[in-house]
Amino acid sequence: MEEERAGRIGDDPRVSELRAAVSRLRRALAAHPAQLPDRDAAEDELAALDAMARAGAPEVPRLRRSLLLVAGAVGSVSALAQALGEVRAAVDSFGEQRVTAPRVVAEQPCAAREVPRPREAPDGM
């Protein structure tokens, strides 16, 4: 049944790859025997990544935020590095959506601005 869903016409292969990578990292984290202080946070964010992927076209900023939280929680565990790298690659495949900030126009040209003078040393120094 899973193969049937993954093979539907119109499915984004990036979403399928993200779901697969998240699943692999979730399994690797579950199998990792060490106590990790932020394990619960990592599991919650991996669940959020999976939910975003299941819903369809995920929001790139939210994907990146979740990835950052997961990496912060498990990034120092070398046994999870490969699976974490796969999740990162899957998130990166969505590209960047940049929001262009409005340009700020200076009121005065740079040369006309006053630059504060440094304090002079008191006498006797």
Which has more confidence, 80 or 107?
80
Q: Which pLDDT does position 30 carry in this prediction?
A: 94
Cα–Cα distance, 23 to 30 (Å, whole number): 11
Contact 26, 44 (CB under 8 A): no
Q: What is the pLDDT of residues 11-59, one digit of tens each?
A: 789 999 999 999 999 999 999 998 889 999 999 999 999 999 998 878 8
Judge whether residue 99 has pLDDT over 50.
no
Judge whether residue 96 has pLDDT over 70.
no
Which has more confidence, 4 or 115?
115
Cα–Cα distance, 90 to 53 (Å, whole number): 11
Q: Which pLDDT does position 87 carry in this prediction?
A: 96
Contact 61, 26 (CB under 8 A): no
Question: How many C-beta atoms surround the C-beta of residue 17 within 10 A?
Answer: 17
Amino acid at 37: P
